[in-house]
Structure 1
Amino acid sequence: MKPILVTGATGFLGRHLVDLLLRGGRQPVRVLCRAGQVEGCAVVHGDVTAASDVRRAVEGVRSIYHLAGLVSRRPADAVRMREIHVGGTRLLLEAARDQGVERVVVASSSGTIAVSRDPAVHDEQSGYKDEVVARWPYYTTKIEQERLSLQFAAEGMDVVVVNPSLLLGPGDDRRSSTGDVVRFLEGQLLTAPRGGLNFVDVRDAAAGTLAAMERGRRGERYLLGGPNMTCKAFLRELAAVSGRAAPRWTSPAWLAAATAPLLRVVSPLAGRKFDIDDESIRMAALFWYCDSSKAARELGFASRPHQETLRDTVAYIRGAS
């Protein structure tokens, strides 16, 4: 039986997807990763940006989940993110096309289309938000990745794109998605940002990604999100499940950005931690709202009660500390 290939299998979403695949037990699972082992899977050691490694990983597989990525808000990571998100995706899709792979599911981000300066709710028909996210290489390279993937689909290849929103839940050992929850629990958030967000349980996003392979339509993308809420409401929900007080006041981005450098200097002197970067402050002033009705309708996607997700996120962070 031909195996399924997963890239990014050691990441937050990848670990939960691999767990679902192994529990399903229908096909062997192969993973491409730079080092180490993944229990229950055949491992090809290599890098998604190296053509020879990608070809070895793709050889003989039936389908591919392409989840490899670098989650970073640092402009200094721009080159590496473009290498992975754009260059690596091109190499993988070319190898998959040449090998006759049946289907590729590419994991993008809701932030390619579902973000604005006002609290609008976006769906898959929303255009790319190039101008809104222009200063953040993570999102600009994800837009490039998505356009590239859909171009391969337009040329006849069976490619489906999933766009999960902010991933929360248990298992984020790298703190790539749950870092802001960590900062809240550490008492770093003195005021609430004025923007809004959408988050989804990583376990539900993994199930939605699996469903995209089984039931998604070629050349389509699917937003995988949960509730839309203001940042202030989100922090109140976190406070309710964690016992940590939520900030009482909101602050505009310009004020937060102006005071952040001072807080980074003063906080350690007072025995407090403050490592919130300027890019995170700017992002929190925007609204990242999305509508997952299409995924619910076509994939059977559903997100669990958000309180469960937040409780499990907080419990995992505290247990890992």
Structure 2
Amino acid sequence: MVLVTGGTGLVGAHLLLHLIENGQTVRAIYRNQTNIQKTKSVFELYKKADLFDKIDWLEADILDVPSLESAFIDIEYVYHCAALISFDPKEEEALRKTNIEGTANMINFSIAKGIKKFCFISSIAALGDLAPHETYITEETDWNPEKPHSDYAISKYGAEMEVWRGLQEGLDVIIINPGVILGPIPKTKKHEQGSGEIYQRVANGLSFYTLGSTGFITINDVVKIAFELMKSDIKNERFTLIADNIVFRDLLNTIADTLKVKRPSIHAKPLFMNFLWIADLLFSTIFFQKRSITKATAKASYSTNLYSNEKIKTALGTVFLDVHQYIKDVSKL
């Protein structure tokens, strides 16, 4: 049996569907009963609602060690998708606790229960920092602790250290580092996170664009590759997963065209983005509001990071879905 954490999130829900479609027996843990509906809606979106009942749901928490005891019964393989994603400095402690301590708990149980293979869903945020002579960030790029990193990046890097500790203690592991993951376009107006938030902001008339870039990948490719790596003889490796390095303006234009709304037309230069995060900090402090933009996200918006996907293409012969075409296709779901 396969255990999936974070089964009510974007990656976890799509992974559960992919596993069941490929004949796997799966167990998913949840913290809140109402969140299971999110996963059910994913199955319904792809017209696979009949497969949803094949999931063995169990209430547990990666930070609650006793609850994990039942979760690991009869488990052979683990996909650890659960994580806290936030770039708000106020959530530093929660990020470290969930992403590092939670992963450590999963690793400890996996070692104790003799798990055959453990897959950790990390992030390109945990990859290294380019040296002056380098152009592309790869799996071998060194992490420079002297350079500034977001609390989220530090927490994912720390989580990876726990996974490598598991390797040293005899656990076979795989780490994947996806770029920005694009999923289906939300059908509701409620507040979304991740790619759902990007779609919503464009749909609501986003005026600004930046000329920074980063690596993007579709959710379909993430879960497909994770499954293929776990079924293969490949072990004790990490893989950068991006379909392409895309300029933010170009991605926003594709989304706007697909949604038939006006393209963002004002170039938000670095100076303006830095002004925004400072203004947002003051506003959120005065009115006790959640941060909308932070120093880390402002910097990311105009940074031009390039990532290499050559390692996974060599290992599996992966052919990635075109991100721009994917956006057009999911608009029809």
Write out aligned runs for 1:155-234 (5 A): 155-170=169-184, 175-178=192-195, 179-190=197-208, 192-215=209-232, 217-234=234-251
- How big is the shift at 1:73? 1.7
Write out aligned runs for 1:241-256 (5 A): 241-256=258-273
Q: Give SS of 2:302's match.
A: coil
Match of 2:257 in 1: 240
Distance 1:246 1:29 in 2: 42
Of 237-246 and 111-120, the range deviating more from structure 2: 111-120
Matched, 1:148 2:162: yes
Distance 1:156 1:262, change over 3 A: closer
Q: Give SS of 2:199's match.
A: helix
- How big is the shift at 1:315? 5.8
Match of 1:28 in 2: 25
Distance 2:100 2:277 in 1: 33
1:299 maps to which of 312, 316, 319: 316
Match of 1:90 in 2: 104
Matched, 1:277 2:293: yes
- How big is the shift at 1:185? 2.2
Residue 139 of structure 2 aligns with an amino acid whose one-letter code is E
Q: If the length of structure 1 is used for normalisation, what is the TM-score?
A: 0.84
Distance 1:64 1:159 in 2: 10
Distance 1:187 1:131 in 2: 39
Of 88-97 and 180-189, the range deviating more from structure 2: 180-189
- How big is the shift at 1:180? 2.5
- How big is the shift at 1:42? 1.0
Higher relative contact order (CA 8 A, sep 6+): 1
Seq. identity, %:
20
Q: Give SS of 1:284's match.
A: helix
Q: If the length of structure 2 is used for normalisation, what is the TM-score?
A: 0.82
- How big is the shift at 1:204? 0.9
2:136 maps to which of 121, 130, 136: 121
Distance 1:216 1:184 in 2: 42
Residue 152 of structure 1 aligns with an amino acid whose one-letter code is G
- How big is the shift at 1:128? 2.3
Distance 1:276 1:314 in 2: 26
Matched, 1:99 2:96: no
Distance 2:15 2:114 in 1: 23
- How big is the shift at 1:58? 1.4
Match of 2:70 in 1: 56
Distance 1:313 1:257 in 2: 33
1:14 maps to which of 12, 34, 51: 12
- How big is the shift at 1:311? 2.1
Match of 1:272 in 2: none
Q: Give SS of 2:138's match.
A: coil
